[in-house]
Amino acid sequence: MAGGIFFPLGTCSELEKANCHPLVCLLCHEPYQHPCLLDCYHNFCASCLRGRASDGRLSCPLCGHPSVVRGGTGLPPVDRLLQFLVDSSADGEEDVQCANCDRRCAKAELDTMYFCNTCGQPLCAPCREETHRAKMFTRHEIVSLSKRTKDIHKKCPLHEEPYIMFSTEKKSMLCINCFRDMQGESRAHCIDIETAYMQGCERLDQAVMAVKELQTSTREAIVLLKAMIEEVRNSASEEEAAINSLFGRMQEQLSERKKTLLKAVQSQHEEKEKAFKEQLAHLASLLPTLQVHLVTCSAFLSSANKAEFLDLGYQLMERLQRIVKLPHRLRPAQTSKINSEYRAEFARCLEPLLMLSPRRSVVGSAGAIGPGIVGANMLPGSQCSKTLMVPGCPPAGDKMSSGPMVRKPTMHRYISTKVLLAEGRETPFAEHCRNYENTYRMLQTEIQGLKDQVQELHRDLTKHHSLIKTEIMSEILQKSLQMDVQIAAHYSAVEMMRSVFEEVWEETYQRVANEQEIYEAQLHDLLQLRQENSCLTTITKQIAPYVRPIAKVKERLEPR
């Protein structure tokens, strides 16, 4: 598996399943061999990272953070601390052989073994009692095997002298010769090994406490994010169910209204078709009569003499006038357009479904993580921070929460207000929005200050277990009550403006509705005129063949 290409462990389940032993590589799942430290402080075997660098950069297989790789090996530096732990662990797992009697001690019996730091050799318990009780061994330093001191850490590799000092400036141990070779200013930063060890232990304890706090915060953040993921999943399920339910009801309403509209269209079609057919039958019966009389006139003019014409001509003219004066329905009594107002009808049937009471908004569902915890402030320009709320306590201002409220996200309101004010129109509502924003920002700043104070007190109480002065809590509570009064007063002031703005909105709505009605009527009138003109064109084309014979008859009558 060494040298293979791996992808980052992307999910929490993969991280939990991964081997988290501090001395085992997360890639090959074997004890570290030459562990390398990346810039993100993740460790991997050198063989597991070999061949992964590209253009002097190496991405962490665990988190994907890029690390700068220097040198021709293409590998990060070796982690000496982790290598020390690996070596120490390997030494503790080996079987130890007594230097005196060659007795081997298994891993389970290492507590009974000793080590002579002077001789640099391990001893079993019997040999320690028998051989190292002589006077020549009285100055030998004998300790338990687990507390042995390695030679590499006892003497200076440059001068072969034991370490006696520690430089806090260079963070390195010094022998007597190294101390003598140092300048006077650097000697002021040197302390003895024991003091350096005690100070280092104290600083390490402080660093460990900081890491433990970060570990606790990380676990809390993981729990919080898991809860938010679950909340998002539940919210998505609820939203999908609501969408499917609403869509189903809309389909049912639309299907019923569709049947009603189709019946109305069919009824209009039958009525109009019947009326047009009756009118067409009347005109069809009139047309032969007119044609017969025109032919009669033509024949009478060509065959009758003057006496016959004067005897019968006026009778023919009276008949023709009576035919023309008869009530003939030449124009359509109604339009051919079938109008069911289906758009308005569909909108009317969906209106009860789309005007439901507002359900829980996305911000409200995503923000509430659990009882007493709110996820984030979600305010413009503010960072996300956990806020404590006392479970079971109702929010301040019951009058404010009892009435119907339009729960739009604050960010949406903020952007909409900015757009409204940027238009530059001086209206009463624009002036109200300008005053509201100023007051709201002031209240928001004071509330955020109280949040920070309560969060700090909660952290001191739960993590540091420090005492909290009673007057501080009283002061915060007093400020909170004052803020409650100010917010309630501001809410009442804004609520009082509702009637004024509703009158303006009603007038605007009526004006817009009237303009829309006039606009639709204008389009309807133009369409009706166009339809009438089309009918006139059709009728003109139909009567054109009959006008020509009448004109010829008229030409023949004029000379007489």
CATH fold of 17-91:
Herpes Virus-1 (3.30.40)
Q: What is the pLDDT of residues 385-397, one digit of tens each?
A: 333 333 334 444 4
pLDDT value at 492 more than 70: yes
470-496 helix and 498-557 helix, angle to the nearest 10 degrees: 30
What pLDDT sits at residue 414? 67
**Tell me, what's the pLDDT at 94?**
58
Confidence of residue 355 (pLDDT cuts 50, 70, 90): low
State the pLDDT confidence band at 560, using cuts at 50, 70 and 90: low
- Position 402 scores a pLDDT of 46
What string of DSSP letters covers 200-260? HHHHHHHHHHHHHHHHHHHHHHHHHHHHHHHHHHHHHHHHHHHHHHHHHHHHHHHHHHHHH
**How high does pLDDT run on average in the chain?**
76
**pLDDT digit string, tens, across residues 85-129:** 777 766 555 567 777 777 777 655 666 777 787 776 777 878 877
| pLDDT at residue 303 in the model | 84
The predicted-structure confidence for 191-206, as pLDDT tens digits, reads as follows 888 888 888 888 888 8
Which one-letter amino acid corresponds to residue 38? L
Q: What is the C-alpha radius of gyration for the chain, rounded to an integer number of angstroms? A: 50
Q: Which residue has the higher pLDDT, 336 or 356?
A: 336
Rounded Cα gap, residues 480 and 259, in angstroms: 60
| pLDDT over 90, % of the chain | 6
Among residues 325, 324, 323, 301, the alpha carbon closest in space to that of 312 is found at 301
Q: Confidence class of residue 370 from pLDDT cuts 50, 70 and 90? A: very low
**Section 421-426 average pLDDT:** 76
pLDDT for residue 471 is more than 90? no
pLDDT at residue 151 greater than cutoff 50? no
User: For the residues 26-30, what does the mean pLDDT come to?
Assistant: 84
Structure tokens at 370: 């659990």
Q: Which of 92-101, 127-136, 286-295, 355-364 has the lowest mean pLDDT?
A: 355-364
* CB 457 within 8 Å of CB 466: no
Question: Would you state the structure tokens that stand for residue 430, as one six-digit string?
Answer: 């624009």
Cβ neighbour number for residue 232 with a 10 Å cutoff: 13
Instruction: Report which DSSP code applies to 463.
Output: I
What's the CA gap between 212 and 221, in Å, rounded?
Answer: 14
What's the whole-number mean pLDDT along residues 27-46? 86
The full set of domain ranges for the chain reads 17-91, 206-355, 423-463
516-524 mean pLDDT: 82
pLDDT beyond 50 at 361: no
| Per-residue pLDDT tens over the stretch 51-92 | 888 888 888 888 888 888 877 777 888 888 888 777 776 655
Higher pLDDT, 74 or 242: 242
Phi, psi of 362 (to 5 degrees): -65, -40
Q: Which amino acid is at 281?
A: A
Q: Where is pLDDT greater, at 303 or 119?
A: 303
The whole-angstrom separation of Cα 72 and Cα 103 is 47
Model confidence band, residue 465 (pLDDT cutoffs 50, 70, 90) = low
- Give the Cα-Cα-Cα angle 425, 429, 432 (nearest 5 degrees): 110
User: Between 149 and 543, where is the model more confident?
Assistant: 543
Q: How much is the average pLDDT of 486-505?
A: 86
What band does 429 get if pLDDT is binned at 50, 70 and 90?
A: confident
User: Tokens for 335?
Assistant: 């339009």
pLDDT digits (tens, 9 = 90+) for 258-281: 999 999 999 989 998 998 888 888
Is the per-residue pLDDT at 555 higher than 80?
Answer: no
Q: Which of 132-141, 162-171, 370-379, 486-495 has the lowest mean pLDDT?
A: 370-379
Q: Which of 291, 343, 296 is nearest to 317 (CA)?
A: 296
| Per-residue confidence (pLDDT) for residue 251, from 0 to 100 | 92
The yes-or-no verdict on residue 216 having pLDDT over 80 is yes
pLDDT of 270:
92
Residue, of 266 and 316, whose pLDDT is higher: 266
Task: Decide: pTM greater than 0.85.
Answer: no
Distance between CA atoms of residues 318 and 304, nearest Å = 17
